[in-house]
Amino acid sequence: MGDEPGLTPEERLRAAVEHTVELAGNWMADAWDAVQSFVKGLERLGTDPHVQARVRWRANEDRAMVAPACRCVCAKVHAGAWVCDVKAVTTIRHYSAPSSPVDVPVCAPCAAEVMTQQQ
């Protein structure tokens, strides 16, 4: 690396820097190879139909879990029916005061029940 006798301090420093650069280059090449094999593994997973189906299923489950809750106030809107499935899919305009209509999120069964009562 630069331990040879008769080298000036500048030559020893140059040899040490060159050796460090060579080691860093080798390390970078090894790291790049490791990253490439990891990326290829992820690509294989990404193109696997079973993995894609599982990811789609999980995304749908997550969307279903964050759906707003039904706010129809079942006891007043459709008393005695108790059809609510809790996950809101639409809104119904509710007039709590003449000047301020409010869109209330409701589930499909509650929306159907309200529609049948309005006719």
Region 20-32: mean pLDDT is 95
Region 22-33: mean pLDDT is 95
The pTM of this model reads: 0.36
Q: What is the largest CA-CA distance in the chain?
A: 105
Mean pLDDT of the chain: 81
Task: For 57-79, write each residue's pLDDT tens digit.
Answer: 888 777 666 667 777 776 666 67
In degrees and rounded to multiples of 5, residue 99 shows phi and psi of -100, -5
Task: For 47-57, write each residue's pLDDT tens digit.
Answer: 888 988 888 88
Please give the sequence-ordered ranges of beta strands (E in DSSP) within the chain, or none if there are none: 90-97, 100-106
Q: In this predicted structure, what is the pLDDT of residue 16?
A: 92
Q: In this predicted structure, what is the pLDDT of residue 26?
A: 95
Domain boundary assignment for the chain: 9-63, 67-118
Question: Between vectors from CA 74 to CA 111 and to CA 96, what angle results, nearest 5°?
Answer: 80
Distance between CA 13 and CA 29 in Å, rounded?
24
